[in-house]
Amino acid sequence: MARLHVIGNFGPFAIDDPSPYRTDMIDCVFSHNRKMGITTDGVAYLSVKNCVIAHNDCEGITIDNGSWGCIIQNCHVYNNGWRGMQHEVELGIDFVSEMGLMADGSSKAKLPGISLDNAAYASTIANNLIENNNRGVNDRFHYFGILVGVAERQHPEQHDFASCNNQITANTILGAHFAGIHLTANVTGNIIEKTR
């Protein structure tokens, strides 16, 4: 395996790592987890369908770090991203400790319902209800229903590249988000259509 060590809860992505692939998660509930409901690290063909992903302290679901060909469909993704259960050391590992804390003790660095961050390509987010994934909006930080972005390289072993060639279609995004979808710098080739 190409990974030499683990950083936080995650090892850095390397192209020659073996990846889990062709995993189906159907009719599941991912709720009240201390961090994410579902997190990925270079997986392929993950299928998440007809699931409830709610009240998780960080993202509802991340399609990250070289993951590709994933689908999130017919899910209800809500009330994620409060970020009140992470310790100071964890916030430092995530490079957000300098944002400070809110009066309730949660980090000011909030998180989205669905994150495509360094999602390699060809993932689909379709027919989901995405709502209120911006718990604790504040003066320093706000977040979105869906983030499509590129995470800056944080470790020498990690590959950084923009999320590309993903499709976001026929979702309903509503509630307290700062914006329904946020596309950050260097994001190319994504298709967003029929989203309300």
CATH code for the domain in which residue 104 is found? 2.160.20.10
Residue 18 lies in a domain: no
Task: Output the pTM of the full model.
Answer: 0.82
Residue 192 lies in a domain: no
Residue 9 lies in a domain: no
Strand order in the sheet with 114-117: 61-64, 114-117, 144-149, 179-183
Count of domains for the chain = 1
pLDDT value of position 6:
41
Share of the chain above pLDDT 90, in %: 36
Q: pLDDT confidence of 8, banded at 50, 70, 90?
A: very low
Q: Which domain holds residue 38?
A: 32-179
Residue 19 lies in a domain: no
Residues 97-142: pLDDT tens digits? 888 898 888 888 889 999 998 776 889 999 999 999 876 677 777 7
Closest CA to 82 of 101, 62, 63: 101
Looking at per-residue pLDDT, the higher value among 34 and 3 belongs to 34
CB 187 within 8 A of CB 166: no
